[in-house]
């Protein structure tokens, strides 16, 4: 069968912030996946024949929410519930939601399973403890006939997958080091991302970062010239690579530099995988992302590549919790 004969996957994107709106725009360039719903904290836009992403995002930025999208938008106190109630209208759900508190995304995943959704789910989760909570829902996903792929952004996601691929040259992997650079023009475009990054800094945790007012975040960034330097982050690349049998979590480290005042990356993003070959030779593979690629491109692209891979898994009945290191993403046209 030709790709053109296959109907597009009907996608709901939960979250319409920095990543959710980029995801919506990306889908408008695809024919294998179609944006049918976009959700923010105050409402949702839904069209079973496909949304006009630009019209929805324009209404959202002019009037303060996707609920204002002409014809397709509606306000709601429980917009995620509105999508769950329409579960049969979707083949794929991408969670571009803040994971604050730390069990929010796992809770949303469980809600879809309990609500009768039967399809694919991908997320852009970052924290190890949150990804582990999702992996523990394996049985629930199996019963519900959901294919859930956890950690499908950039890190974890693209870089975790690259680490898994690089590991194949080695008899034993000694270390995986991820060092990322993010350049964004202003932090307000990615509030949850920046808050969750602050939660990794000394003196902060998820709860204290969540409680920071926008003014306090702006002040903290001012004190640091707009830059956050993050080391030894609790990123789920470690648990995902361990669960996939590649390397023990203690050998995985993640850190990076986030500049909130320039769209240029402060450092290049790379993953270095060091190991010993079957002949006993120690070596390293390095995978470096092009500096021109944005965080949005490197998160949403893989999230939809895994979505397409998830469709195939769903077709063959491989329900349950998978990860970015156990599935190969499939290129979306």
Cβ(92)–Cβ(39) under 8 Å?
Answer: no
For the question of residue 142 being annotated catalytic, the response is no
Nearest C-alpha neighbor of 43 from the set 84, 62, 10, 15: 15
Please, which residue, 131 or 173, has the CB nearer to ligand NAD?
Answer: 131
Of 32, 62, 71, 126, which is the active-site residue? 126
**Residue whose Cβ sits closest to ligand NAD:** 17
Confirm or reject binding of residue 16 to ligand NAD (CB under 6 A).
Answer: yes
Please, which residue, 190 or 319, has the CB nearer to ligand NAD?
Answer: 190
Cα distances (angstroms) measured from residue 108 to each of 26, 112, 167, 249, 326: 23, 6, 33, 26, 22
Of 196, 308, 314, 322, which is the active-site residue? 196
Report in angstroms how near the CB of residue 50 gets to ligand NAD at its nearest: 20
Report in angstroms how near the CB of residue 107 gets to ligand NAD at its nearest: 10
Alpha-carbon span 217 to 289, nearest angstrom: 28
Q: Identify the three-state secondary structure at position 156.
A: coil
Question: Which positions from 142 through 181 interact with ligand NAD, judged by CB under 6 A?
Answer: 153-157
Q: Which residues contact 290 (CB under 8 A, 6 or more apart)?
A: none
Confirm or reject binding of residue 238 to ligand NAD (CB under 6 A).
Answer: no
Cβ(314)–Cβ(120) under 8 Å?
Answer: yes
Confirm or reject binding of residue 56 to ligand NAD (CB under 6 A).
Answer: no
For the question of residue 279 being annotated catalytic, the response is no
- Cis (ω within 30 of 0) for the bond into 276? no
Of 136, 172, 200, 234, which is the active-site residue? 200
CB atoms within 10 A of CB 271: 25
Which residue stretch of 2-10, 11-19, 138-146, 305-313 sits at the interface with ligand NAD (rule: CB under 6 A)? 11-19
Name the residues that contact ligand NAD, by CB under 6 A.
15-20, 39-41, 79-80, 96-99, 124, 126, 153-157, 190-193, 196, 295, 299
The catalytic residues are 126, 196, 200
């Amino acid at each position: 069968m030709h790709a053109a004969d296959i109907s597009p996957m009907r996608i709901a994107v939960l979250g319409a912030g920095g990543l959710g709106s980029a995801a919506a725009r990306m889908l408008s360039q695809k024919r294998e996946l179609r944006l049918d719903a976009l959700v923010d904290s105050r409402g949702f836009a839904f069209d079973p024949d496909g949304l006009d992403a630009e019209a929805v995002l324009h209404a959202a930025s002019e009037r303060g929410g996707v609920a204002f999208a002409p014809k397709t938008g509606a306000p709601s106190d429980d917009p995620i519930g509105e999508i769950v109630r329409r579960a049969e209208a979707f083949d794929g759900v991408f969670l571009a939601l803040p994971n604050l508190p730390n069990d929010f995304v796992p809770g949303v995943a469980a809600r879809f399973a309990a609500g009768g959704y039967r399809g694919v789910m991908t997320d852009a989760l970052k924290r190890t403890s949150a990804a582990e909570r999702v992996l523990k829902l394996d049985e629930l996903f199996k019963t519900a006939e959901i294919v859930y792929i956890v950690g499908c952004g950039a890190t974890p996601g693209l870089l975790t997958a690259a680490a898994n691929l690089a590991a194949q040259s080695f008899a034993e992997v000694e270390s995986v080091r991820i060092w990322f650079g993010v350049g964004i023009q202003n932090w307000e475009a990615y509030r949850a991302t920046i808050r969750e990054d602050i939660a990794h800094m000394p003196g902060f945790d998820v709860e204290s970062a969540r409680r920071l007012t926008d003014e306090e975040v702006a002040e903290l960034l001012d004190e640091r010239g707009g830059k956050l330097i993050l080391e030894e982050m609790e990123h789920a690349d470690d648990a995902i690579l361990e669960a996939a049998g590649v390397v023990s979590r203690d050998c995985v480290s993640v850190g990076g530099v986030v500049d909130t005042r320039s769209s240029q990356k402060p450092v290049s993003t790379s993953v270095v995988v060091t190991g010993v070959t079957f002949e006993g030779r120690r070596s390293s593979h390095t995978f470096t992302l092009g500096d021109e690629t944005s965080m949005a491109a490197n998160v949403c692209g893989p999230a939809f590549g895994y979505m397409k891979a998830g469709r195939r898994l769903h077709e063959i009945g491989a329900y349950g919790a998978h990860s970015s290191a156990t599935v190969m993403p499939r290129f979306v046209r």
